[in-house]
Amino acid sequence: MVKRVVIAEDEFFTREGISRLISADPQFEVIGTANQGEEAISLVKSLNPDALLLDIRMPPGIDGIEVIRRLRADGQQLAILALTNESRSIKAAEAAGANGYVPKEKHQMLIPALMCVTHTPGKIFINPDHSQAYLDLVAQVEAANLTESEREVWQYLAYRNEEIARRVHKAPGRIRNIVTELYFKLDIPKTGEFSQRFIATEMARSLGILKEPERDYCNEDS
């Protein structure tokens, strides 16, 4: 039986991309989309879907956590998957009654997650990539209160500072200062087996935000 899905996501291109991905699988049918929390609740009540893919942050109006609370309080038993990367939101969504979560950048997990929660009523989808260590890392980054510039530079930390400067349009000296501040905010010690840069780079890679340098590969035909 085809499972019917509603998608609630405020960003148009993200919403359309998820919709196309889900619709391409014959197991699922997207029967409605919403860009605000109140609209998501209305669609669920009127369309009676099997599952709701729900972005947690959807300004203005109520957020995804409140959507989950209201739907569960109304007796709605559909499967709800939260779309979020924030550890606090993950825990709040689970407490409100979500059946699991999928990181917003991990669209390849959507189909397996939907299969899990729609084929067995009440089942919880556990993200295989996100252990408690991952959630602790997310919480650490949230507590660091990084600026937009620091987050941007962090994504390119696998590159040399000169290349980062070129990509983000800042002076090399400014990049060095940002990197130093990044180490401080992320509480990365100067002493230890690994360098601060290595640790910060691996943290970004674990979170899925690292932009890897392009590499040239050889093959037998080259």
Q: Structural domain of residue 144, as residue ranges? A: 132-207
Closest C-alpha to 69, from 37, 47, 46: 37
Same domain, 111 and 136: no
Q: How far is CA 101 from the centre of its chain?
A: 9
Order of strands across the sheet that contains 51-55: 28-34, 3-8, 51-55, 79-83, 101-102
Q: How many domains does the chain have?
A: 2
Percentage of the chain exceeding pLDDT 90? 60
Residue 2 — φ and ψ, nearest 5°? -70, 130
Q: What is the DSSP letter of 213?
A: P
**69 and 41 housed in the same domain:** yes
Please report, as a single letter, which amino acid is at residue 68.
Answer: I
**114 and 12 share a domain?**
yes
Write the CATH number for 191: 1.10.10
- Read off the pLDDT of each residue in 105-110 and give the average, rounded to a whole number: 84
74 and 141 inside one domain: no
Which CATH number is 79's domain given?
3.40.50.2300
Domain identity same for 197 and 137: yes
- As a dihedral over the C-alpha atoms of residue 64, residue 67, residue 68, residue 74, rounded to 10 degrees, the angle is 180
220: pLDDT strictly greater than 50: no
| Residue 212 included in any domain | no
Average pLDDT (142-168) is 93
Q: What six digits make up the tokens of 16?
A: 């359309």
